[in-house]
Amino acid sequence: RFVFTSFGVDPSGRYFVPLAVPLALFAAEMILSLVDDHGRWLWGLIGIILLYNFWGTAQCANLYPPGLTTQFNAITQVDHRYMDDLIQFLSDHGETRGYTNYWVTYPLAFHSQEDLIFVPRLPYHDDFRYTPRDDRYAPYDDIVEQASRVAYITTNHPALNERMRVEFAAAGAAWQETQIGDYYVFYDLSQIVRPDEIEIYAP
């Protein structure tokens, strides 16, 4: 039944993590059964398989970016090594509230101990698709809605950056922008511009 829900199409497989323990127990039982049936030489084969998997995992982890990740779509592979620099920049410029995408909102809130609240209202897909399911914590919405100034953070999406420039200009706003690693920041907006006031989503 799970696979027919909206979460069943998630390619990361993270929702199946709870199955890791029972599957490990099942694999252990199967290995012991095979060893009993085919002899102890099978331990050597199992060791080769485990070594192969360990080597592949280590090799993947050392290739950064993206490193060890559950994300298969390159646009969602955000290099969070620059998170501390982003937090410092936003704090120095008084940009503590604003809008970003799903892949930035919650890591940013966590690493800043919720000093910086940016809600996930920006699309991150190439085709500008957005789902309200990304916005999962209503108290953050209230905090940002009451803010007297907002900034915007995008990641790996030059087309969205260009569209936002056009929309900010059409709204009569002035702003500054800078890039910090994979994070692209629109800040020092001369007026508050909310995402639902500009055309940044797919039709």
Tens digit of pLDDT for each residue in 115-160? 999 999 999 999 999 999 999 999 999 999 999 999 999 999 999 9
130 in the same domain as 43: no
174 in the same domain as 137: yes
With respect to residue 70, please indicate whether it lies within any of the assigned structural domains. Answer: no
With respect to residue 203, please indicate whether it lies within any of the assigned structural domains. Answer: no
Confidence band of 12 (pLDDT split at 50, 70, 90): low
100 in the same domain as 59: no
**Between residues 181 and 74, which one has the greater pLDDT?**
181
Confidence band of 1 (pLDDT split at 50, 70, 90): low
179 in the same domain as 94: yes
Task: Kindly report the average pLDDT of the chain as a whole number.
Answer: 90
Which of 12, 30, 63 represents a domain boundary (last residue)? 63
**Between residues 7 and 89, which one has the greater pLDDT?**
89
Full residue range of the structural domain in which residue 174 is found: 75-197
pLDDT at 8 over 70: no
164 in the same domain as 137: yes
18 in the same domain as 59: yes
100 in the same domain as 27: no
**54-107 pLDDT, tens digit each:** 998 888 888 777 777 777 777 888 989 999 999 999 999 999 999 999 999 999
**Between residues 10 and 33, which one has the greater pLDDT?**
33
With respect to residue 69, please indicate whether it lies within any of the assigned structural domains. Answer: no
148 in the same domain as 50: no
With respect to residue 143, please indicate whether it lies within any of the assigned structural domains. Answer: yes
With respect to residue 116, please indicate whether it lies within any of the assigned structural domains. Answer: yes
Confidence band of 171 (pLDDT split at 50, 70, 90): very high
Number of domains in the chain: 2
Which of 36, 63, 90 represents a domain boundary (last residue)? 63
Give me the pLDDT at residue 43, please: 85
Q: Are strands 117-120 and 176-180 parallel, antiparallel or unpaired?
A: unpaired
Q: What is the 3-state secondary structure (H, E, C) of the chain?
A: CHHHCHHHHCCCCHHHHHHHHHHHHHHHHHHHHHHHHHCCCHHHHHHHHHHHHHHHHHHHHHCCCCCCCCCCCHHHCCCHHHHHHHHHHHHHCCCCEEEECHHHHHHHHHHCCCCCEEEECCCCCCCCCCCHHHCCCHHHHHHHHCCCCCEEEEECCHHHHHHHHHHHHHCCCCCEEEEECCEEEEECCCCCCCHHHCCCCCC
Give me the pLDDT at residue 2, please: 57
With respect to residue 35, please indicate whether it lies within any of the assigned structural domains. Answer: yes
With respect to residue 68, please indicate whether it lies within any of the assigned structural domains. Answer: no
With respect to residue 31, please indicate whether it lies within any of the assigned structural domains. Answer: yes
Which of 19, 39, 63 represents a domain boundary (last residue)? 63
179 in the same domain as 85: yes
Give me the pLDDT at residue 10, please: 62
Task: Provide φ and ψ at 77, rounded to 5°.
Answer: -90, 85
121 in the same domain as 173: yes
43 in the same domain as 85: no
Q: What percent of the chain has pLDDT over 70?
A: 93
pLDDT at 192 over 60: yes
Give me the pLDDT at residue 6, please: 62
Give me the pLDDT at residue 167, please: 97
CA distances for 162 relative to 23, 120, 167, 196, angstroms: 47, 19, 9, 17
93 in the same domain as 14: no
